[in-house]
Amino acid sequence: MKMHVPVIRDMQSRLRDIASNAQVKRFVSNLGTVFLFRFAAAVLNAVGLVAAARYFGVVAVGDINIIQNAGFFLIIPMLIGVNVAIVKYLPAGNAEEQGRLIGSVFVWNAALLMACSLLYLFPGMRLAEWLNLSPAVWLWSVLFAISVNISMVFDAILRAEEKFFLLGKARLIGTVLFFVIVLLACLLSGSFYLFIAALMVNHLTFAVLAYRGMSVRRFRFSWQSSRKIYSYGSINMVSLGLSMVLFTSDIFIVNYFYSGYEVGIYSVYMVNVRMFFNLLFHEIFAVVFLPTVAQMDKLMLYRRLMKLTPLILPAAMLANAVLCVTLLFLFGSEYPLNWTFVALVSIGTGFHFLYWVMNSIFTVEGKKGALICLQVLGIPMPFLLGATVYLTKLYGIAGAMAASLLTQLVLIGMFIVVIRLQYGKDRLREEHNHQPSLTEWQKEDRSL
């Protein structure tokens, strides 16, 4: 028993050091602000989704999720990773530099939005046919992508300016409008496409409110700023593109081999749980996490994450299991409960959370971090896509879920290997043995 006393005291000392760190305090404070707003918005989103699932049925739920997944993939050439570049570079610039950066983003993003939209609406129809998507589903996917693109640009600006109260409030107002439109669509026997229209209103309302509240008001175009943000953003675009292929292709593969009913059931288990996870992670946790860690030592953060994994991973799995079962219960008897599906989804999404925390840490590291994320995704991608197609064709929905779990495990393993190769085992060992004192934390605060 005595042998454990020094260990306990050491852990208490570490917790006190972390709690006294100004960056940690600021992160927790901002996280609380965002969480309150986004939790309220998440409740409205959940109720709206439950109403749509009960009223429109299983097949419509599948189409809704296909439109959203296609839309999130289509925004990649529109954004070219500029949202990540804004979070990285905007806080470091003075007022004039910020005006040039945002002005350049507005010009290029508007041009890319128009060019991509025309490309998607005409030659892109052939891609829709190849994916077994109807023209209506493809059209709504393009319209949805346009609204999400605009929203993500202004979301990044508010993150970079650390206007988390405005960000949360604007998201909540947009979600309230979404909720009202969905309820009216159900009450007035409208089409399920009104659900997508409501999402678009949500994103565009947020963009308008964000523009009105952002600090940068004078914009100028600059070639130098353009090269700076898009050279960095293009690397992240490739990484994001690979992520979207790996994490959204599953529903299209299920749609290719099976009926609309199977697509709907798969959506309820895998896609909707993943959607709510993305909402909680990307719009609550990452909103505060990325600006906070942008200037911190990424290897130190990675090491701490590895130490916390035995606590984080089971908690994430349990939370996803509760979410999955709750959604199925709320959706009604038309959506059967399958405990094998629940287990596969919960374990897979738990590892998915761990992967995204790793990815977020190194995304804002600069070009080196972007290349790390690119290697992690690019090297195993052909194998993972092949495994998804094979397992889905052979075992149906369960095979697609097992392939998703395999993907998360392989990506986490790749992260560990690539980071060790990039930073070297000696430095990792040195970082592991060195425990920062309170004085060192204070020095780090001053340097940040």
DSSP per-residue codes, 388-409:
HHHHHHHHHHHHHHHHHHHHHH
Distance CA 280, CA 219 (A): 32
The angle, 0 to 180 degrees and rounded to 10, between the axes of the packed helices 82-89 and 223-257 is 140
Distance CA 359, CA 370 (A): 9
Distance CA 115, CA 93 (A): 30
pLDDT value, residue 244: 83
DSSP per-residue codes, 92-120:
GS-HHHHHHHHHHHHHHHHHHHHHHHHHH
Give mean pLDDT, residues 4-11.
51
pLDDT value, residue 29: 57
The answer, yes or no, to whether residue 42 has pLDDT greater than 80, is no
> DSSP state, 92?
G
pLDDT value, residue 7: 46
Q: Is the dihedral of CA 164, 200, 253, 373 positive or negative?
A: negative
pLDDT value, residue 390: 95
For 393, other C-beta atoms within 10 Å of its C-beta total: 15
The answer, yes or no, to whether residue 272 has pLDDT greater than 70, is yes
Give mean pLDDT, residues 422-428.
60
Report residue 78 as tokens.
């529109």
Check if the beta carbon of residue 36 is closer than 8 Å to that of residue 283.
no
Over the stretch 94-106, which tens digit does the pLDDT of each residue have?
Answer: 888 889 999 999 9
Report residue 363 as tokens.
């995304």
DSSP per-residue codes, 15-72:
HHHHHT-HHHHHHHHHHHHHHHHHHHHHHHHHHHHHHHHHHH-HHHHHHHHHHHHHHH
Check if the beta carbon of residue 338 is closer than 8 Å to that of residue 265.
no
Integer CA distances (angstroms), 57 to 139, 289, 355, in order: 21, 37, 33
Over the stretch 104-116, which tens digit does the pLDDT of each residue have?
Answer: 999 999 999 999 9
pLDDT value, residue 296: 59
Distance CA 268, CA 326 (A): 11
Report residue 219 as tokens.
């914009």
Give mean pLDDT, residues 52-65.
87
